[in-house]
Amino acid sequence: MENSYRKGEIIELTVIDPAEKDQCFGKTESGMGVMVAGMLAVGDRISARIVKVRQRYLEAVCLEVIEPSHDRVEPVCPVFGSCGGCKWMHVGYEAQLRYKRKKVADALVHIGGFENPVVQPVLAAPEPFHYRNKVEFSCSNMRYLMPEELRQEVLLKPKGFALGFHAPGNFEKVLDLDTCFLAKACMNTVLNTVRKFAVVRGLAPYAAKTHEGFLRNVMLRYSERHDQLMVNIVTSWHDRELMEALRATLEAALPGQAMSVVNNVTTRRNTVAVGEEEFIVSGEGFVTERLGSLDFRISANSFFQTNTRQAETLYDQILAVAGLGPDDTVYDLYCGTGTITLYLARHCRQSIGIEVVESAVKDAEMNARLNGIGNAVFFQADLKDFHQMQEKLTPYDAPRVIVTDPPRAGMHPKALETMLQLEPERIVYVSCNPSNLARDGKEIAARGYQLTAIQPVDMFPQTSHIETVACFERSV
């Protein structure tokens, strides 16, 4: 099709699919494909301005929703569209689940080359809001101004202090929040209590450009099953008396709440909420969460799934497709702090977790002791080095089942090759990125495995992210 469109031209189109990077895909009446930026829903009829003309498609930005989709709902958050956290809050939850299922299926077909993959309906979260057990707020000396504030002569909030989330694409400015609709109620109480305390005490917010200031981050963790809260205040230096005063203020704001207060201190010139040194102000310095019948101790900087209820659903799906027997050995690659390894251990003879991060391996071993599990073993190893793994794993049986839960980027090609050289009967691939699941799945299938199960689990309502459990079985 000859592309006769011009940059700057106003066009009308209908949105037919969500796409990556906060975009959607649509087509004009002439059939030209358009990648359009904006908070849109499938079925929206919109006007848009062309910003780039490609040979086979256009890039555009939405100007107006002419006719809204039936999937649209009114976002509950007053800063929706400015905050980068909940990109799909304008879409009804049932529609979100449809979009996510199609996203997995499309990736498997178009990237993985699988014909008619049977993707099961997405397992919905019981709570589409207030589900996160971890939230990280940032502090800045540059508050992001909302569009309506730009027209006000007198601002209701100071410009020089903000506690909330970074504005999308801006490492300096922070959107000041009163409520996060993904956080627990106690977390929002902490947010507002710390902000008031900081303003009254005149605490200097961290400036990302000059690397000056005291208060950097407020990172919160909550144990849903044990009702425990951890408040981690990240600062540029430690002030014991100030932290004690903040502790007392927080306890007054949340009477009866089981709570630990810790102070992570860092001098690094970045905005990452991880300290070089940690001071326990009160409590034990960790929370304990339960998945199934297992307890996991979570410190300030430990990794743990951010949706407790759906983590249990996810792990049950892994267990179901793994098909473990009492004499089986299972390997858990990228095991982190050992949650999946330990979840599987009671259903097989030996469960072996492999992880490159030393601190995570130590946490995994501690979690095994905490739960009295003696048939789980953890090794620190780089999955890219097959010979290193062979040497460490020689005393153990070869795995009949391998579970791999790689980071968003997917498996490193050498790690994927290492896994395939082990020749398990079954591979359970857990992915938070359908594109990379499809890419790696294509290679797994090329080595004699069939894709036999695909189960998406919605860990992150109101966002485009989706977790998927895929099972590959070796052809006989």
Note the pLDDT tens digit of each residue in 371-382. 999 999 999 988
Cross-strand partners of 429: 404, 470
- Residue carrying structure tokens 């007054």: 252
Question: Does one domain contain both 392 and 318?
Answer: yes
Structural domain total, the chain:
3
Question: Does one domain contain both 281 and 407?
Answer: no
- Residue carrying structure tokens 């996203």: 103
Question: Does one domain contain both 411 and 390?
Answer: yes
Structural domain including 110 reads 105-127+307-474
Q: Determine, yes or no, domain membership for 230.
A: yes
Residue 452 has pLDDT above 90, yes or no: yes
Structure tokens at 460: 């992150």
User: φ, ψ for residue 456 (rounded to 5)?
Assistant: -75, 145
Structure tokens at 102: 């199609």
Note the pLDDT tens digit of each residue in 228-261. 999 999 999 999 999 999 999 999 999 999 999 9
- What integer pLDDT is reported at residue 391 of this predicted model? 77
Note the pLDDT tens digit of each residue in 178-207. 999 999 999 999 999 999 999 999 999 999
CATH number at residue 47: 2.40.50.140
> In this prediction, what percent of the chain has a pLDDT beyond 70?
99
- What integer pLDDT is reported at residue 396 of this predicted model? 87
Question: Does one domain contain both 272 and 334?
Answer: no
Question: Does one domain contain both 351 and 367?
Answer: yes
Q: Determine, yes or no, domain membership for 83.
A: no
Long-range pairs for 254-258 at CB < 8 Å and ≥24 separation? 254/186, 254/189, 254/190, 254/193, 254/229, 257/186, 257/227, 257/229, 258/226, 258/227, 258/228, 258/229, 258/283
Question: Does one domain contain both 142 and 274?
Answer: yes
462: left (phi over 0), alpha (psi -120 to 50) or beta: left
Q: What distance in Å separates the CA atoms of residue 378 and residue 277, rounded to the nearest whole number?
A: 26
Q: Determine, yes or no, domain membership for 392.
A: yes
- Residue carrying structure tokens 């299926």: 105
Q: Determine, yes or no, domain membership for 139.
A: yes
Q: Is there a catalytic annotation at residue 77?
A: no
- What integer pLDDT is reported at residue 129 of this predicted model? 97
Residue in 142, 239, 156, 149 with CA at minimum distance from that of residue 197: 239
CATH number at residue 169: 2.40.50.1070
- What integer pLDDT is reported at residue 408 of this predicted model? 86
CB atoms within 10 A of CB 116: 8
Question: Which residue among the candidates 83, 180, 432, 471 is catalytic per the annotation?
Answer: 432
Question: Does one domain contain both 242 and 141?
Answer: yes
Question: Does one domain contain both 396 and 443?
Answer: yes
Q: What distance in Å separates the CA atoms of residue 62 and residue 34, rounded to the nearest whole number?
A: 11
Q: Determine, yes or no, domain membership for 456.
A: yes
Note the pLDDT tens digit of each residue in 37-55. 888 999 999 999 999 999 8
- Residue carrying structure tokens 């992880």: 355
Question: Does one domain contain both 379 and 437?
Answer: yes
Q: Determine, yes or no, domain membership for 90.
A: no
CATH number at residue 366: 3.40.50.150
Q: Determine, yes or no, domain membership for 210.
A: yes
Q: Determine, yes or no, domain membership for 293.
A: no
- For the chain, the average pLDDT equals 92
Residue 100 has pLDDT above 60, yes or no: yes
Residue 293 has pLDDT above 70, yes or no: yes
Question: Does one domain contain both 319 and 430?
Answer: yes
360-366 average pLDDT score: 91
Q: What distance in Å separates the CA atoms of residue 419 and residue 415, rounded to the nearest whole number?
A: 6
Question: Does one domain contain both 123 and 138?
Answer: no
Question: Does one domain contain both 330 and 398?
Answer: yes
